Every structure is written in structure tokens, then in C-alpha cells.
Structure 1
Amino acid sequence: MRIPSLLSSLLLAASVHAAPADTPDDMGRFLNDKGLLSQIDQVRQNVTNKASDLVVNALGFLGAPYRMGGNSVETGFDCSGFVKAMYEQTVGLILPRKAEQQAAATQLIDRAELQPGDLVFFNTLRRAFSHVGIYIGDGKFIHSPKPGAQVRVENMGVSYWSHRFDGARRVAPAPTLTNATTTEPGLR
């Protein structure tokens, strides 16, 4: 009697421990059967393409003049005006106007997680989030730096920027951001 009881216990224990191993396979089959795996890959590719488009578009504005309060190539850009214009033109999202508002409206990420298209913030005026740029990869960002200067690429590892780094943020469609292509009243 003792052997069947022991055997039952072992079988029960084996089945309990085997269930979690089957779960990922079942989940994978479910996602595949519903076509969700390909949709996830499409979303991932779409995000990557938009970030690449954003960086390429921003690089096209190298040399545009700085202008306090500016938000177009015709008038010149300040830092947050440049970021706002690039996101609106390329991604279709309308970000808030000021750097500190852009920081508040985006998702905090670790510096190690930076990807092209993310926002990088700096304390350049003795206050948090007083300057913003767009991360382009390889430790570099593009921004409109200051009066008398032009849109340019900088290395975040340079002492000036590394000492003033305030954090990184990721832009994602959220209730605090609006899609520029929407036609619903009150969203533009």
C-alpha cells in the first residue's frame, strides 16, 4: 500500500512542477494562433522605424539657428521648441512646449535604457529639466543649445553635459500627449 501512495505523491508532485514549464508553450501557441506574435513584432518594428525617422528628421535640421521661444526652422528653435517640432512633424505627437513640461509628460527611463528618439534632460540654468535634447545613439544627442548657436550634435560623455545630466525619458502615446492626426475637438 505504501508504494502506490508514494507513486501517487510523486506523480502529483511531477505534474505540479511540470505545469509552469508548459505554460510558456501554451501561451506561445495561443499568441501564435491568434496572430498576436506577428502583431507584437509589427508594433516593435513600427516603434523602431518611427525612432529612426525621428533621428533622421532631426539631423536634417543641423545648423538651424537658436532662437528663444522658437519652434520652426523659419524662426529658429529653442531646445524644447526643437523637440516639440520634431515629434509633431515625424511622429505626429504634440508634446508640451517647455522642457520641464516635456519631462513631466514622458516616462522616466534609466540612462542605460536610452534608445534613439528618447529625450535627455539637463540642468543648465540651476533648475531641473531646464534643457532637453533628442538622443540619437552612441552616447550622443541633438539639440538647439543656446543663443548664437545652431542645432548640433553633442556627446553626453563630455564633462559639461555629464555633470548636468538630469535624466532620460521615453515618449509614448499617453493621455498627457495628443496625436496630431486626430480630429476630435479639444485634442489638438
Structure 2
Amino acid sequence: MRSTRSSNHLHALAACCLAVLLTACGSAPMRTPDASVSTPIPAPTDIRSEAATEHGSEIAIYALDMIGTGYRFGGKNPDAGFDCSGMVSYIFNRATGLKLTGSAADMARQGRKIDKSNLRPGDLVFFNTLNRPFSHVGIYIGDGRFVHAPSGNGKVHISRMDNPYFAPRFEMARAYFN
């Protein structure tokens, strides 16, 4: 069991890392054809509300705090260990109070499908890793990365969406907040 002090330090570190990650997404000025005036590149518009960003950030922070937690098939808490859907369920409930339960495939039937290009921290990403649809789920944390509990290495960790294993197995992304 983790000590409260250690957990508080990890939570603070995760919050700092997420803040740096989110601020790194600012836009750079763009030169106009006459090169004498700089104008900012407009940010892409997205119909998702600011509340989604707050919930998503909280989910991403909780996910980062679970890095290193052991894997256990059917596991639903950090003391026993997690499988992928147990980790997602635990984090969503703790971070936002949303009770998202069931298998990865069950979770894929809930929420709202979003385009991969519109991923925000806190969205879920689904993969076909066992030759069946939606057999693995992770929490997107930004910058093309997601936190998940894979059975292969035995611990919750971060992987990249463009990872040679996961990229061809990506199936869908879902948002659970507007």
C-alpha cells in the first residue's frame, strides 16, 4: 500500500507533467505574405465544452498516478492490481464520479465516438489486441500517448499511439464528457 505522502508527491508530479504537456500545445505565430506582420494561427474549433477539458485533465492526472501499478486479470483497484478495463473504471469513478464499468468492449459501446484527430486528455482509446474487437482500452493523456494496463509487461505504463504494436490495432476513440 502506498503512503499518503508518497501518493501526494506522485499526484503533484503528475499534475505538473500534465500542465507542461498541455501548455506545450500552444500555437506559433504565422508570417503573412508580406512578412511584416505576424498573426497567430487560429486554434482548431471543437464543439466539446470546457468542462470536458477539466474532467479530462483530472482523469489524465489520476491515470499518471497509477503508473507502475501491477497488472492482474480482473483487477479493479491499485492494491490488487488492474486489468485495462478495471483501471479505466477505477480512474473514471475516482476522478469524476462517472461509473464506467464492464469490459473494454462494453465501454466502447458507451460515450460518443470521436475522430482520432480530436483526441483530448481523458478520452478512451480502444484496440484489437486479442483478435477480437475492442479487447483493450487505454486513457489518452495527450501528445499521442495513452496510459494502460497491458498484460504483457505486468504494470500500468504509457505507450504511444504510433507504437508499431498499437498503431495497426487502433479501432476507435470515445469521449464521455461533452
TM-score normalised to structure 2 length = 0.70
Q: What is the distance in 1 between the residues matched to 2:129 and 2:92?
A: 22
SS in 1 for 2:140: strand
Q: Structure 1 residue aligned with 2:96, among 91, 99, 114?
A: 91
Note the C-alpha offset of 1:121.
0.3
Contact 2:55 2:177 in 1 (8 A): no
* Structure 2 stretches lacking a partner, 5+ long: 1-47
Partner of residue 157, structure 2: 152
Q: Structure 2 residue aligned with 1:162, among 141, 147, 167?
A: 167
Q: Structure 1 residue aligned with 2:124, among 119, 124, 127?
A: 119
Partner of residue 75, structure 1: 80
| C-alpha distance after superposition, 1:47-91 (max 9, x if no partner) | 212211111111011000000000100110000000010000001
Partner of residue 65, structure 1: 70
Partner of residue 135, structure 1: 140
Task: Calculate percent identity across the aligned residue pairs.
Answer: 43
Listed as ranges, the matches of 1:161-180 within 5 Å are 161-172=166-177
Q: What is the distance in 1 between the residues matched to 2:49 and 2:109?
A: 24
TM-score normalised to structure 1 length = 0.67
Q: What is the distance in 2 between the residues matched to 1:45 and 1:80?
A: 26
Partner of residue 6, structure 1: none
Contact 2:87 2:149 in 1 (8 A): yes
Code of the residue aligned with 1:112 in structure 2: it is S
Q: Structure 2 residue aligned with 1:105, among 110, 113, 122?
A: 110
* Structure 1 stretches lacking a partner, 5+ long: 1-42, 174-188
Q: Structure 2 residue aligned with 1:56, among 54, 61, 66?
A: 61
